[in-house]
Amino acid sequence: MKKIQISPSILSADFSQLGKEIKRLEDGGADFIHVDVMDGHFVPNLTIGPPVIKALKKNCSIKFDVHLMISPVHKYIEAYSDAGADIITIHPEATNNLSDSISKIKELKKKAGVSLNPETKVEVIKDYLDQIDLVLIMSVNPGFGGQKFMPEVLDKIKELKKIQKDRNIDFDIEIDGGINFENSKIAIEAGANILVSGTTIFKSNNGDIKKNIDTLKSS
């Protein structure tokens, strides 16, 4: 079994203190910094772009796990790579050619991820699983933090684990959306090895980030 890693979502951080918030995550034992990039078009919210990521990355040694919820995504991949993204995750619905977009990420020497919204089936990415480093399972409809976890998506994680075994391929399985101390256990049991969490990490236990990260890791 892979080591459980935590990728805190800065969507739940204090945006007026983002640099300090990322330092708190680093000190608290985060494995990645999860950055949700939204364009107000692919999803109904607007967040941050390459200049903010570039500024934040300067003083951070943790890898940036950048989830691009933008369409069309292909033409923006290089900008986010240049800004400092270490993992670039895209949605199959946001590109005209998923294979080309994955190849573009790989050419830039970044890890390539593909995200599945709650209604998107594993079948959509089955032919690409040997090309990618990570599958991000959305357990809420993307767009806003603080939503309720959708347990039905766990079946997709189990399906991916079976494919890994049957085809002898390896990739990380990340889950994002409403992850807390209760449902993190069932997500890990299903086969997820990277947990994205925002509200739980920043708000639980009076904002004790280290305690919250440690608790999620030991689910």
Q: Is the dihedral of CA 98, 92, 145, 25 positive or negative?
A: negative
Q: Which of 31, 39, 172, 176 is catalytic?
A: 176
Q: Read off the DSSP letter of residue 111.
A: E
Exposure letters 165-184 (e unless 16+ CB within 10 A, then b): eeeeeebbbbbbbbbbeebb
Q: Is 36 a catalytic residue?
A: yes
Cα gap 25→207, rounded to integer Å: 11
Residue 172 among the catalytic residues: no
The amino acid that residue 138 corresponds to is M
Active-site entry in 36, 39, 133, 172: 36
The single-letter DSSP state of residue 87 is: E
Contact yes or no for 193/161 (Cβ under 8 A): no
Q: Which residues are catalytic?
A: 36, 176
